[in-house]
Structure 1
Amino acid sequence: MTGVLLALVLLALVLLALAPARGQADAALSCPGSRPCLTALMSSNAVYLDCPNTSRPGAVSWHFTNLTAGGGELKAFVVGGELVKTPLNPDLSRLVSKAKLVKTDLKLTEPQVYDSGGFRCQEGRSVLAHYKIDFQDAQRLRLSLAACGQTPLGNETVDAGSAGQLEVYTRWGAWQACDRGEQRTGERKRVGFCYVRVPKGEALPCGLARLTLGRETAALRRGPELQVQGCRAQCSEQPETSSPREGPVLLKSTIITRPHQPVRLQCPGASIYSPVYWERNGTGLTWLGLLRENGSHSLDVRTGGGVYRITGASRADAGLYRCFVSRTLTGRFTLRVRGLSLGEPPGLLRGSLLIQNSLIALTCGLLLIAMAWLFSHACHHRHYRRLRSTEEPNRGQGRGELPPEKASDSEIEPRLQTPPHSDQMDAEQPSMSQEQSVN
C-alpha cells in the first residue's frame, strides 16, 4: 500500500511539472532540479522561466540549445546576471534581443517557434532549473466559440511504424476566470496545445515529438487551440492575478489617424494566458459581439484578445477604448479620426485625394516649364550681349570712318602738342609792334 501511495505522489509531481503553472494565468513556469520539464507554450506571448533557490544572484547563468537546429551543447547567454551579446551565434543573438532578466528569472517577451529548445538556469555548476519548451505557432491557432456551436478538435491516431500507434490530442489548460466581475455577463477562455501520447512513454508536445521521432506528418503539425465561452462571475470569484515580478502598468495614449486607415491597440500586460476584455466608450465588447458586427473590428486571436484591431477607421470609430487584464485597467486609448466629416462616403475622399494629387502634379509641371523657360531666356540674353560687344567697334567702318584705335597721325598730333611758353609769347609781341610802326 505504501508503494502505491508513493507512486501516486510521484505521478502527481510529474504532472504538475509538465503543466504550466497556475492554469497559465501568468505564463510563469517553475521546474526546479536538473531533470528537464517538457512543456508547450504559445509563440508571440511573453513567458517567465523561474530560477528558484538562488543564494548568489550575481553567479546565476542561463544556457540555451536550439532544438529546431538539431540541439547540441547548451551555451550561455546570461552570465553573472547580465545578458551576453554573441554576434557569432545567430540563435543566441535572436534570443538575447527578446530576453529580459527580472532578478534571476528569465522573461522572453515575444518567443517564436524557432526559439524552441532547452533552457537551463545554473548557479556556478549547480543546476537550479531545466526546461525543454516547444513554442507552438500562434499563427496556426484555432479559435472555437461555444456560443456559435463550434467545438474543439478531436483526437487523432497516427501509425508511426516501429514506434507503434501515436495518439495526437489537445492538452487543455484550466479555464481562466471570467474576464469581468460584478455578476456581469462576460467571457472566459482556455488554451490547449498539441501533444502526442507515445506507447510506453510520456506524452510529448508535438514539436518535440517530431524531433524525437524524426517524423513529419500532418497530424503532428496540428496547431494549438483557443476556446471561448460565455460566463457570469460570482461575487466570491477572484481572477488570476498577473505575475508580481513587474509592477503594474497603466498606459494612456492618444492615437490620431485618417479615415480608412488600420488601427492597432495593444493592451499592456495582456496575453493569451490571462483574462482580458475591452470597452468602447463605456460599452463592453466580446468575441461574439464583434463577430456579429460588420467585421471591421476584431480581437487578435494570437494574443487571446490582447490586441484590438480596426481594419478601416471611420469617424464613428473615434472615442475612448479601455482594456482590462484580470479585471484591472491597464490601457486607456483615445482614438481620433481626422479628414472626413461624419457620413461622407469613402468615394468622396478618394475623389478629393485624386483631385488634390492632380493639382499638385500640374503645379509641379508648370514650375518645371517656367524654370526651363527662364534658364533658356537667360542663356539667350547672355549670348546676345556677347555678340553686341564684339560688333560695336566695327559699326563705323561701313561709312568710311576709321576706328578709334586706327586714327591718323594728323588727328593725334594736335592733341599731343603743348601750348607755347609765356616767355616766347612775350618775345613775339615786340616784333609785331615794330611791324605796325613801319607800316
Structure 2
Amino acid sequence: MGNFTKPSMAPRVILLSQSVMLATLWLISLSFSILWAHSSISCSYKSLCRRALLSGNNIVLRCDHPGALWYFTSILGKAVFLISSIHNTKNLPGGSLLLVNPQPSQSGLYSCQDNHNTLTVEYEIDFQDVTTLHITHKTLDQQPLQNETLMLGGEVLIFTQWEPWQDCNLCGVPGERKRLGYCYIEEPGEKPMPCGLYMGEEKLAHSRLRPELQVEACLVPYNPAKETDQPYFIFDIYQLGKLTDSMWLTCPLASIYRLGFPSYRKPGSSSSPPAFMGSVCRRACQDVHLARVPDAASQLGLDQFTATVPVTMLSTLWLLLSLSVPILGLYPFVSCPEGHKCQLALLSNNDILLECPLSRAHWNYSFFISKKNGAINSMASNMEITSGGDLAISNPLPSQTGLYHCWEENSSHVTQFEIDFQDVRSLHITHNSLEEKPLQNESLHVGSAQLIFTRWEPWQDCNRCGVPGERKRLGYCYIEELLDDPMPCGLYLAESPSWSSRLRPELQVEACFVECSDEPFAQLGYVIFDSFQFNEELESLSLLCPLASIYRPISWEANKIPLTWQNELSGKSYNSTLNLATGGQQLQIFQPAIYRCFVEQELVAQFNPMATLELLAPPKRENKTQALPRKADLVPLKLKLVLLMGIALALGLLLFNTLCSAPGKSRKQMLLAK
C-alpha cells in the first residue's frame, strides 16, 4: 500500500507566564478587533499612503484581502523582503499586518498584494524614535518645539505636523487630553514629508528631528450616547520584591494613540471602593475597568489573577477562547515532515489541528467518500486556515475522510495528510476493572487474507495524582494485507465500502495511581469559575470542560467526589453522565453540586450552583445631571451594599478553601471568575 511517514501527535496547551498579567485576553485580542487591542491605519484601494508613526508602539496596517502577501522595502536600502522573514510582524487572518514594537530601522515601504500578486495597497511609514519624544504640558507653561530651517542641499523647513487632539480621558470630572506631533521636512514648492523618509539613508544628528507629545487639561460632560460597553473588567495582583523598589504596571488595550489614564480611585468618588483596593486603569467614559490589586488581595484567596466577566454563563469567554484557537493552541495537533505524506486515523467530532511546515501555506482537500475536492475557499465551514498556515478542523465528520495537503507557491514541496476520521458514535469502550475485553482480530471476509485489527495509541497519563485515578488509550481500526503495510479501515475501504461490526475504533480505560511531581504536566495558567442554575423547564444541564479533549487526560468531581469512567460504564453514575464520545469533555448533570474538571491533573474549571440573587452588572457611572436621591431611597441601597460585601467575603473564603483543597499538585493559578 506504499510507505508513509508516521505523524507525530501531542496535546498542545497554553503556556502562560505568571509574570504576564493579561496574557489570555491579549491573545484573544489578536483575533478580535472589537477589543481594540491594537491601533490600526487604513489606506484606499491601490493607493500609496505616507505616514509618520512612533516606534515602540504596536500598529496594524489594514489590507482587507485574506491570505494577502506583504513585502517590505527599507529606506536604508532597495532590497525587498517578504514580511514573514521579519520577526516582530504577524499576518492577521483578514490579511492585515501587525507590527509589534516597531523600530526606527523598520521605516520604509510596506506593500500588500493579493493571491494573484496584484498590488492592493502600500504604506510608506516613518517610525520616528519614541525615545526622543519631546513632551510638554500646557498647564506647566511648557512650549512645543519651534520651526527651524536647515541647509540640506538647499534650504528646508523642519516643523511639527500635529495630529488632532484625542478625546478627554475622563468625563464628568477634570481630565487630560493629548495629541501627537511628528517631525516633517518641507522644501519650497514641494509637499512636506516625514523627516525619516526625507532623510532616507542620510543620517543627521539634530535636536529638532524628533516627534512631540502635548498634553492639556480638559473637562467634558458625561454623554451616555457616546458610551461603549466593553464586556469585561479585569483584576490582577502584584508584589514588590525585596530587591525592587518599583515595578511597571501595563494597562491592557492601551496605546499612545488612544486616551486612557491611571488612577488610585474611581473618578467622582471620595475614596477608593473597598472591594477594589488598588490602582484603576480606565478608558474614558467606557465600562471597561482594568485594575491592579495589591498583594493584600491574596488573603482572599486570589492567588494570581482575577478577571470578572459580567455575563451569566461561561459561553462568551469560552467562545472567544475557541474562536482564537490558532493562537491559544486549544486543539490537539498532528504534524508531518515537509514534503512527506503521512497516513493516520483520528476520531470524528473531536477537534484537531493539522500543522503545515510551510510559512505561506495554501490548503487543498479531496474527500474519498463524496469525491469532492478543491481549495480551502470551498471547504466546509468547520475548517479554517490559521494565521500560521495550519488547518484547524472543528468536529470533523467521517465523510471528511480524505487527503489534505498544504503547499506553497513557487515551491515543489507538498506536505500531505491522508486521514481516516473514524466514527466516534461507534466507539467501543471497555474498562479493565470491569473485565471487559477489547475487540478481537477478524478477517474482513470469510477466508480472506485481509485482517481487521486495532492499532493502539500509547496510554495517556493518569488523570489524577496522589489519589486513585484512571487512564485511557485510543485504538483505531486498521486493515492489513499480506506483505503490505496496514491502513486505517476508512482509507482501505474508500473505493469499496463494506460494513462489519468490527470496523470501529476503541477506547480502553484502566485504573492507575501516580505520585504528584513537583512539576505539573502542563502549566495551563488559569482556572475558570462559572455558575449554573436549574429551572422548572430544565431537568438537566450540560457542562463543558475547557481545554479538554478525548486526546488528553480528563477527570471530573462532584462535591469533591470523583466521577469515574468505571462508575459510568457500570451504570453506577446516577446524578451525572459523562459524554463518552468527547472523552469526558462534556458532563450532563441532573442535580446541583459543585463540579470541577481537571485536564492533565490540573484544575481548569469549577461550576457552582447559582443562588437566586441577581448577578450584579458592572457599575455604571453616576450621571451628574440627575437629581440626588432622596434620603429614604438610600436605605435599600445601603442594604444592598452590605449584602454585596457579605457575598464578596463569602466568595473569597470559598475560593480560598477551594484552591487550598484542590487535589493533585498545588500551584499558582490565574482565576477567571463571574
Whether 2:396 is the aligned partner of 1:111: answer yes
Q: Distance in 2 between matches of 1:158 and 1:286?
A: 35
- In structure 1, the gaps of 5 or more residues are 1-10, 78-83, 87-91, 339-439
Whether 2:12 is the aligned partner of 1:18: answer no
2:348 is matched with which residue? 43
Name the SS of the counterpart of 1:69 in structure 2. Answer: coil
Residues 238 and 205 of structure 1: CA distance in aligned 2, closer, same or farther (over 3 Å): farther
Q: Distance in 1 between matches of 2:387 and 2:553?
A: 23
CA contact (8 A) 2:557 2:563 kept: yes
Q: Distance in 2 between matches of 1:108 and 1:154?
A: 31
Higher helix residue share: 1
2:584 is matched with which residue? 305
CA contact (8 A) 2:12 2:332 kept: yes
2:440 is matched with which residue? 154
Name the SS of the counterpart of 2:605 in structure 1. Answer: strand
CA contact (8 A) 1:43 1:110 kept: yes
Any idea what the Cα deviations from partners look like across 1:139-159, whole Å, max 9, x if unmatched? Answer: 111110111111111100123
- In structure 2, the gaps of 5 or more residues are 14-330, 613-674
C-alpha displacement at 1:328, in angstroms?
A: 2.0
2:556 is matched with which residue? 278
CA contact (8 A) 2:556 2:597 kept: yes
Q: Distance in 1 between matches of 2:604 and 2:429?
A: 25
Q: Distance in 1 between matches of 2:440 and 2:384?
A: 35
CA contact (8 A) 2:11 2:333 kept: no
Equivalent residue in structure 2 for 1:193, among 476, 485, 489: 476
Whether 2:375 is the aligned partner of 1:76: answer yes
If the length of structure 2 is used for normalisation, what is the TM-score? 0.40
Whether 2:362 is the aligned partner of 1:61: answer yes
Name the SS of the counterpart of 1:211 in structure 2. Answer: coil
> 1:148-187 counterparts in 2 under 5 A?
148-159=434-445, 164-181=448-465, 183-187=466-470
Residues 148 and 20 of structure 1: CA distance in aligned 2, closer, same or farther (over 3 Å): farther
1:99 is matched with which residue? 384
Any idea what the Cα deviations from partners look like across 1:98-131, whole Å, max 9, x if unmatched? Answer: 4351522222121111111111111214335210
> 1:169-318 counterparts in 2 under 5 A?
169-181=453-465, 183-212=466-495, 214-218=496-500, 222-236=503-517, 241=522, 250-258=527-535, 261-290=539-568, 291-293=570-572, 295-310=574-589, 313=590, 317-318=591-592
Residues 103 and 33 of structure 1: CA distance in aligned 2, closer, same or farther (over 3 Å): closer
2:607 is matched with which residue? 333
Q: Distance in 1 between matches of 2:446 and 2:468?
A: 46
Name the SS of the counterpart of 1:114 in structure 2. Answer: helix
C-alpha displacement at 1:215, in angstroms?
A: 4.3
Q: Distance in 2 between matches of 1:175 and 1:195?
A: 18
C-alpha displacement at 1:300, in angstroms?
A: 0.9
CA contact (8 A) 1:240 1:274 kept: no
CA contact (8 A) 2:555 2:597 kept: yes
Residues 289 and 238 of structure 1: CA distance in aligned 2, closer, same or farther (over 3 Å): farther
2:202 is matched with which residue? none
If the length of structure 1 is used for normalisation, what is the TM-score? 0.60
The two structures, once aligned, show a CA RMSD in angstroms of 2.9
Q: Distance in 1 between matches of 2:456 and 2:521?
A: 17
> 1:359-438 counterparts in 2 under 5 A?
none
Residues 249 and 51 of structure 1: CA distance in aligned 2, closer, same or farther (over 3 Å): farther
C-alpha displacement at 1:217, in angstroms?
A: 3.3
Q: Distance in 2 between matches of 1:50 and 1:34?
A: 13
Any idea what the Cα deviations from partners look like across 1:62-99, whole Å, max 9, x if unmatched? Answer: 1111111136xx5221xxxxxx3x3xxxxx1x2x3343
2:425 is matched with which residue? 139
Name the SS of the counterpart of 1:322 in structure 2. Answer: strand
What percent of counterpart residues are identical? 30
Larger Rg: 1
Q: Distance in 1 between matches of 2:567 and 2:375?
A: 48
C-alpha displacement at 1:174, in angstroms?
A: 0.3
Name the SS of the counterpart of 1:165 in structure 2. Answer: coil
C-alpha displacement at 1:320, in angstroms?
A: 1.6
Whether 2:308 is the aligned partner of 1:31: answer no
Letter in 2 for 1:309: Q
C-alpha displacement at 1:333, in angstroms?
A: 1.4
Residues 250 and 107 of structure 1: CA distance in aligned 2, closer, same or farther (over 3 Å): farther
Letter in 2 for 1:303: T
C-alpha displacement at 1:240, in angstroms?
A: 5.6
Any idea what the Cα deviations from partners look like across 1:276-297, whole Å, max 9, x if unmatched? Answer: 0011122222112344535342
CA contact (8 A) 1:250 1:268 kept: no
C-alpha displacement at 1:192, in angstroms?
A: 0.4
CA contact (8 A) 1:32 1:130 kept: no
Q: Distance in 2 between matches of 1:112 and 1:218?
A: 19
Q: Distance in 2 between matches of 1:228 and 1:330?
A: 22
